[in-house]
């Protein structure tokens, strides 16, 4: 998910078209310019919010 929002607008071919394009917020997200290290840090933080549930 983090990778998607980081590159959605700069690599649209990577993700394909939205099913309902008019619902895509293009003003606030889509080109976050995060580095791989920053993405890893965000994912690590998000993992701390987990209660350990494994489906």
Residue 29's pLDDT band, with cuts at 50, 70 and 90, is confident
DSSP codes joined into one string, 1-55:
-HHHHHHTTT-HHHH---SSGGG--TTTSS-----HHHHHHHHHHHHHT------
> What is the chain's mean pLDDT, rounded?
87
Q: Please compute the mean of the pLDDT values over residues 26-55 and round it to a whole number.
A: 86
Rounded to two decimals, what is the model's pTM?
0.67
Domain ranges of the chain: 2-48
Residue 42's pLDDT band, with cuts at 50, 70 and 90, is very high
């Amino acid at each position: 998910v983090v990778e998607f929002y980081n590159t959605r607008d700069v690599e649209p071919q990577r993700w394909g078209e939205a099913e309902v394009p008019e619902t895509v917020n293009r003003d606030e997200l889509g080109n976050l310019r995060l580095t791989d290290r920053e993405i890893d840090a965000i994912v690590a933080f998000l993992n701390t919010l987990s209660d350990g549930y494994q489906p």
